[in-house]
A = this chain, B = another copy of it.
Amino acid sequence: MNNIAIIGAGITTFGESWDKSLRDMILEASLLALSDAGLAPKNIDAIFIGNMLGSKTAGQSHLGSLVATQLGIDVDSTRVEAACASGGLAILRAIESIQSGRHETVLVVGAEKMSDLSNGEITNALMEAGDEEWEMPYGATFAGLYALMAKIHMQKYHTTERQLAEVAVKNHYHASLNSHAHFRNTITVEQVLASPPVATPLKLLDCCPNSDGGAAVILTSKRHVKSHHDPVFVLGAASATDTLSLAQRAHISEIRATQKASQQALKEAGVTQKDIDVLEVHDCFTIAEIMALEDMEFYKKGAAAKAIQRGETKLGGKLPVNVSGGLKAAGHPVGATGVKQAVEIVTQLRGKAQQRQVKNAKIGLTHNVGGTGATCVVHIFGKEDHA
């Protein structure tokens, strides 16, 4: 509907990249996307970078200019920050930039270098995604907040710890097929259940890791798409917010921003849930994937966990979810995640996902969340432009 296509995609290996800095990962992902598109830096009219923690991890803000400097160009360049939704929101702003007529070919890069801080420092830094006045001083962590959501979900819908574990098992299996993933080992439900508690009912293996990584895509208006680009079209895009703190919300086992953003994006794309062949959703904790599938109405409230347990959302099932391995197993370099989700969908729709290819994937969706759902961004991509 938007006459906009992704014509290049690039991604670094996610993990603990001791040999690479934040700027190394920005450059690597950007050059891979440019090379994939067959473009040189001088073909880029504008840049958007999604990053949350550069100030904390590298002592570096002002990343818009940094990316342009690294590429040797002097174009309009913007850092977008919306906590863990920074990457997805950067893509939405890039789409607007092209739709406005101001720019034609735009690079979006997301990157984060988390391993330079200790786990305690990162846990504190990530809490800046929550409410600094009403959550952080009371000792809240994101594992703790998502544990509250899980507890209520279990109470309301009889979701079990075993069902939560199934999400992790599935996503580790998917990641075992993805050479860019942070964790490539498969795990069992028993291993998840036996892993150390982080915030009950969430255990270590219910939680995504802190990762280093970068991802990039190049978007352009339809008239610049060449045959060799193997384009993937933007069909719908939307973002919504909810209260910064969890306690201010009417319901804490659902995310209103996900509901609103997904409804808008589906409407814009002119498709329904049934048309979606493959999804990348924000599974920072196992409960988050369950809530995402329900809030986007792929399943009724309380039904997603059972469907996951039945294997419906596994590669080969009827609705493959997080075939990349998701945040849980492919890794979660926060500013990169929303862009990485788009890279995965592009790879799937191009039919280039090798071992983890979803057959005949024609339409894909990405769902990227900041905080406990205070920001949500949903994009829908298609092999064909419906316009």
Q: Interface of A with B (CB < 8 Å)?
A: 23, 52, 55-56, 58-66, 68-69, 73-83, 89, 92-93, 95-97, 99-102, 125, 127-133, 136, 238-245, 248, 256-257, 260, 370-371, 374-375
Contacts and interface: CB of A to CB of B under 8 A. Distances in A.
A257 B74 contact: yes
Contacts of A80: 78-80
A242 B96 contact: no
B102 A65 contact: no
Given A93-B78, A260-B74, A375-B77, A61 B241 contact: no
A65 B260 contact: no
Contacts of A245: 69
Contacts of A92: 76
Nearest 5 pairs of A and B residues by beta carbon: A99-B100, A65-B374, A61-B128, A60-B132, A96-B100
Contacts of A243: 65, 69
Given A96-B100, A375-B77, A370 B62 contact: yes
A97 to B, nearest CB: 5
13 contacts: A55-B55, A59-B132, A59-B136, A61-B129, A62-B375, A64-B89, A65-B82, A69-B374, A74-B260, A76-B239, A77-B239, A96-B97, A96-B102
Contact of A132 (B58, B68, B79, B240): B58
Nearest to A70: B244
B55 A56 contact: yes
Given A61-B129, A79-B82, A371-B62, A240 B102 contact: no
Interface centre among A78, A80, A92, A240 (most CB of B within 10 A): A78
Contacts of A60: 128, 132
B64 A375 contact: yes
A107 to B, nearest CB: 13
Contacts of A58: 132
Given A79-B81, A374-B65, A74 B256 contact: yes
A93 B89 CA distance: 12
A236 B325 CA distance: 45
A95 B116 CA distance: 37
A91 B79 CA distance: 14
A77 B241 contact: yes
Nearest to A56: B55
A39 B95 CA distance: 28
Contacts of A89: 64, 78
Nearest to A83: B62
A179 B379 CA distance: 46
Contacts of A73: 241
Contacts of A374: 62, 65, 69
A133 B23 contact: yes
A65 B371 contact: yes
Contacts of A97: 93, 96, 100
A44 to B, nearest CB: 12
Contacts of A96: 93, 96-97, 100, 102
